[in-house]
Amino acid sequence: MSPGKRVTIADIARMAGVSPGAVSFALNGRPGVSDETRQRILSIVEENQWQPSSAARALVGARANTVGFALARPARSLGSEAFFTDLIAGIESRLSASKVSLQLRLVSDIAEEMEVHRQWRSSNQVDGIILIDPRDDDPRGDRITALDARAVMIGSKPSPEGAVPSVWIADDEVAETLFSYLAALGHTRIAYVAGPAELEHTRLRAEVLRGMESDGIFGEVITTDFSPARASSVTRAQLSGRLRPTAIVYDNDVMAVAGLRVAQEMGRAVPRDVSIASFDDSVIAGLINPSITAMTRDTFELGEQAATLLLEQIIAGANLPSAQGPTPTLTARESTAPPASGS
């Protein structure tokens, strides 16, 4: 080999007197080569300090030992959401136990996300893909199928047969628990400060609230971009109206904290003048004063389950059935109480 030239898998095969496919078998511990040949190949690899490139992996069909996760979320908001911190930690915990890496990419929208998926698969950079935030008529499932990629969706309901399997949480049941709790306290005017309207969980939660109208509950749904700035603006408008809600529910803990701060700035006592609750829980939600009522879920376990299902599919080379994730439970705290009489 000339000095400075990168050793390729073809070079290893030539030096060992075998085919590139035999090198692949040896490196990946697969049958097809004798122990003597495997040891000769591994010795040559060690002597030449060879490291596989993504192109070499694609050439021989070896695994990349990497899972891809493209997130269409703003970097600033992503860093402040405990949900994603715990989810990614759970995913990493399961992957690292199998010596598999996580490749995380932040993208601007779903179109860019799908392009990243295509690039990953065409260059064999990842063995599988994690998806999140399912939408109605989500185009990503068909694209994943066309790419012949293994994937798992973290979603609100089990995937239909033949689709990308999901690790799911029944968001309609979660919403029923939280909104019914507020109704049982006596709240009849409830505002739901949601995420984007196209997300599946937003629709499911909104449908539950609107379905309570026959029980005398007036619900209003306001969609946002998950940001604390937007949550603050919506809260200010809600508490400035003539017919104010007696309870406000936020899609995540960051928005709930922002809403609580606005209520306090406006002189609205929580929970005497308005109750506040969140669909996501966090350490901050439990430590702030007043502490915030929330739906508590084991998000770390959710990430572990998603990674486990994906790894099992990669090994099997086929889709496996969807699996239900950890069930959220209601954690009632100081931010909710019966509405003041006359409210």
pTM comes to 0.80
What confidence tens digit (pLDDT) does each residue in 40-97 have?
888 888 788 766 555 444 444 567 899 999 998 877 767 677 899 999 999 999 999 9
Q: Is the pLDDT of residue 25 over 80?
A: no
Mean pLDDT, rounded, of the chain: 89
- Give me 146's structure tokens: 């066309």
Task: Count H helices and E strands in the chain, helices first.
Answer: 14, 12
282 vs 255: CA distance, rounded Å: 12
Average pLDDT over residues 196-210: 96
User: Residues near 177 by Cβ (< 8 Å), separated by ≥ 6?
Assistant: 295, 328, 330
213 vs 226: CA distance, rounded Å: 26
Q: Which run of H or of E encompasses 67?
A: strand 66-71
Residue 165 DSSP symbol: P
Q: Which run of H or of E encompasses 33?
A: none
Greater pLDDT, 6 or 246: 246
- Give me 227's structure tokens: 């940001």
Q: What local confidence, expressed as pLDDT, does residue 301 receive?
A: 97
- Looking at the chain, the whole-number percentage of residues with pLDDT higher than 70 is 91
Q: How many residues does the chain have?
A: 343
Q: What local confidence, expressed as pLDDT, does residue 145 receive?
A: 87
* Per-residue confidence band for 6, with pLDDT thresholds at 50, 70 and 90: low
Exposed e or buried b per residue across 255-264, where buried means at least 16 C-beta atoms within 10 angstroms of its C-beta? bbbbbbebbe
What confidence tens digit (pLDDT) does each residue in 134-187 have?
998 899 988 998 888 899 999 988 988 878 999 999 999 999 999 999 999 999
What confidence tens digit (pLDDT) does each residue in 226-240 have?
999 999 999 999 999
Q: What local confidence, expressed as pLDDT, does residue 53 receive?
A: 57
Cα 130 to chain centroid distance, Å, stands at 8
Q: What local confidence, expressed as pLDDT, does residue 51 receive?
A: 63
